[in-house]
Amino acid sequence: MNARIPTSLPFADWAKQVQSGMEDVLDRFLAPVSVVPARLHEAMRYTAMDGGKRVRPLLVYAAGDVFDTPLPLLERAAAAVEMIHVYSLVHDDMPCMDDDALRRGKPTVHVKYDEATALLVGDALQAQAFATLSAPLEAELATADAGMPARQLRMLNLLAQASGSVGMCGGQAIDLASVGMTLSLSELEQMHRLKTGALLRAAVLLGALGGKALTADESAALDDYARAIGLAFQVVDDILDATADSATLGKTAGKDAADNKPTYVSILGLGESQALAEKLRGNAHQALAPFGDKARRLRELADLIVQRKA
Ligand code: GRG
């Protein structure tokens, strides 16, 4: 992606350009297969390239539009957050966790390669995410804005917090410990705020942090938006899981319920879960009101997250 994608494009075209641009961005920030060890780099590319909805990069670019974040920082942030997400999927699919054979329509990394490789692919993608976000900036950008290194540092800290024990990993630990247990709605929400919400929130804030300074009110509004879509994403995931046709979605219908994991649908029922997703969409829209038309993409992404079919 060499130039900013025009905001005037219809949403679907804009999203397609971000998604296809991510192939180029990831290609640039991942080691080539020609670098030793070739098999590890091949496996990293196998799982990271050409796959997924790229929701987190879309959020990074959409938030970047609101705060005029320079493209090189958006690219680094989008690649880094996607690498963390992909690493989490690779580890989550392993036999010691969810034991899944298919991901994004392809054999999972431990199935295609082996378990040790899957572990290393996840570890290496995590390290590469931070290497990517901290990579030196293009000379003209670094000299044009003396505040860039401080911004990069804040972004690194944010991504580290969102990924670790007080973010995604912590949420996964709670999830693993909750198998077979009855969770209250607030316990379920706490788990998902960490497990999936923290990284989605980080994507929004990363896109914003790279741009012009946020006021306290802007920061709070963006946080409200990020929290609403983070939760909506999980509620919709549970709805899709409960109603999926496994053949068409390429995932196991009702897997969480079958694994005896609490879900929004198991606690609230389908109708109330759908109503909750709609309410969260409304909350997300409301939170964006202070940003006016500049937040159009973020608004459309809230719609996409709630209306998605996969
Ligand atoms: C193993 C440290 C560690 C963490 C795993 C997020 C996570 C934590 C595991 C993923 C398990 C899972 C399927 C959760 C449901 C919600 C979710 C994150 C789905 C996958 O994300 P999408 O739909 O995937 O954005 P794509 O493939 O489109 O990128």
| ipTM attached to this prediction | 0.93
Q: pLDDT category, 247, cuts 50, 70, 90?
A: very low
92 Cβ below 6 A of ligand 1: yes
108 Cβ below 6 A of ligand 1: no
* pLDDT score of 245: 55
Tokens of 278: 């709609």
**Greatest mean pLDDT range, 19-28, 148-157, 248-257:** 19-28
Condensed to tens digits (0 to 9), the pLDDT of residues 9-68 reads: 899 999 999 999 999 999 999 999 999 999 999 999 999 998 899 999 999 999 999 999
Q: pLDDT category, 258, cuts 50, 70, 90?
A: low
Condensed to tens digits (0 to 9), the pLDDT of residues 267-302 reads: 999 999 999 999 999 999 999 999 999 999 999 999
The span from the CA of 89 to the CA of 87, in Å, is: 5
pLDDT at residue 150 is higher than 50 = yes
* Mean pLDDT on 255-261: 68
Distance 222 CA to ligand 1 centre (A): 22
Condensed to tens digits (0 to 9), the pLDDT of residues 94-136 reads: 999 999 999 999 999 999 999 999 999 999 999 999 999 999 8
pLDDT at residue 226 is higher than 90 = yes
Question: Which residue's CA is minimally distant from atom 4 of ligand 1?
Answer: 88
How do the domains of the chain map onto residue ranges?
A: 11-307
Condensed to tens digits (0 to 9), the pLDDT of residues 162-218 reads: 999 999 999 999 999 988 888 889 999 999 999 999 999 999 999 999 887 789 999
pLDDT at residue 81 is higher than 80 = yes
195 Cβ below 6 A of ligand 1: yes
Fold of 11-307: Farnesyl Diphosphate Synthase (1.10.600)
Pick 247 or 264 by higher pLDDT: 264
* pLDDT score of 213: 79
Model confidence, pTM: 0.93
* pLDDT score of 309: 86
Mutation test residue for ligand 1: of 54, 87, 89, the one with most atoms within 8 Å of CB: 89
Distance 93 CA to ligand 1 centre (A): 9
Round the average pLDDT of the chain to a whole number and report it: 92
* pLDDT score of 249: 46
* Mean pLDDT on 137-154: 82
- At position 110, the amino acid (one-letter code) is H
91 Cβ below 6 A of ligand 1: yes
223 Cβ below 6 A of ligand 1: no
* pLDDT score of 21: 96
